[in-house]
Amino acid sequence: AQTVTQSQPEMSVQEAETVTLSCTYDTSESDYYLFWYKQPPSRQMILVIRQEAYKQQNATENRFSVNFQKAAKSFSLKISDSQLGDAAMYFCAYRSQGETSGSRLTFGEGTQLTVNP
Amino acid sequence: DAGVTQSPTHLIKTRGQQVTLRCSPKSGHDTVSWYQQALGQGPQFIFQYYEEEERQRGNFPDRFSGHQFPNYSSELNVNALLLGDSALYLCASSLLAIGNTIYFGEGSWLTVV
């Protein structure tokens, strides 16, 4: 079974600064997907960024980028030019690429990000 | 285009009772999954429905059951409620084809007293 570990329960950053959230995972599979989701106080999970394991290039979405190290099974999220609206719980998630994986995600325990003005 | 919608938003039940939560997937999606998120924890996968059948199941007891209707909407039923069932229940939808983005609803808050 796959596991996802987020070792930082809480992180804080000054507005306009850069912060990196860590995530490691354990799997015996070679093909899979990794995600970062944001959960604001409204509790709705919002997809921030995704990475396909077969792609060597790190994914980027505007101010959000990842550092995907497949051999090390590490998947960190970098938020540049942090904004007050970035404050939320961030979850790292794993999904197999198997035929029946569908929408089954394995989540980490989350990192609560605070953005200070 | 409506996203994933869930009802009710909040509910309170008594230990031993039964509860039904409802989910309408995003338009065009054929797969629905349910997750339980206890306070301060990450979501845990309960089960997934496709073509009106349960396709995958997480480590949850048989008290948790579900259903998917021909219009792809879904219900989550929990029998014999325990205090530990108090949580946010999230519904997610997607297309079964691998790689498609998974969308989440805002969840149903269940409190068992």
Residue B111's CB is within 10 A of a number of other CB atoms, namely 12
Nearest-by-CA chain B residue for A42: B106
In chain A, what residues touch B96 (CB-CB under 8 Å)? 102
Which of A2, A8, A92, A103 is the best mutation test for B, with the most CBs of B within 10 A? A103
Q: State the pLDDT at residue B17.
A: 98
* DSSP code of residue B98: T
CA dihedral B40, B45, B51, B52 (to 10 degrees): -80
- Predicted pLDDT of residue A97: 78
pLDDT tens digits for range A67-99: 999 999 999 999 999 999 999 999 999 998 765
B53-74: average pLDDT: 95
Neighbour count for residue B79 (Cβ, 10 Å)? 14
Nearest-CB residue to B94 (from A4, A97, A102)? A102
d(CA B37, CA B86): 9
Beta strands in chain B (DSSP E): 5-7, 10-13, 19-24, 31-37, 44-50, 53-57, 64-68, 74-78, 87-94, 103-104, 108-112
Q: Does pLDDT of B98 surpass 70?
A: no
Of B42, B102, B104, the CB nearest to A108: B42
Please tell me the least confidently modeled range out of A8-12, A16-20, B1-5: B1-5
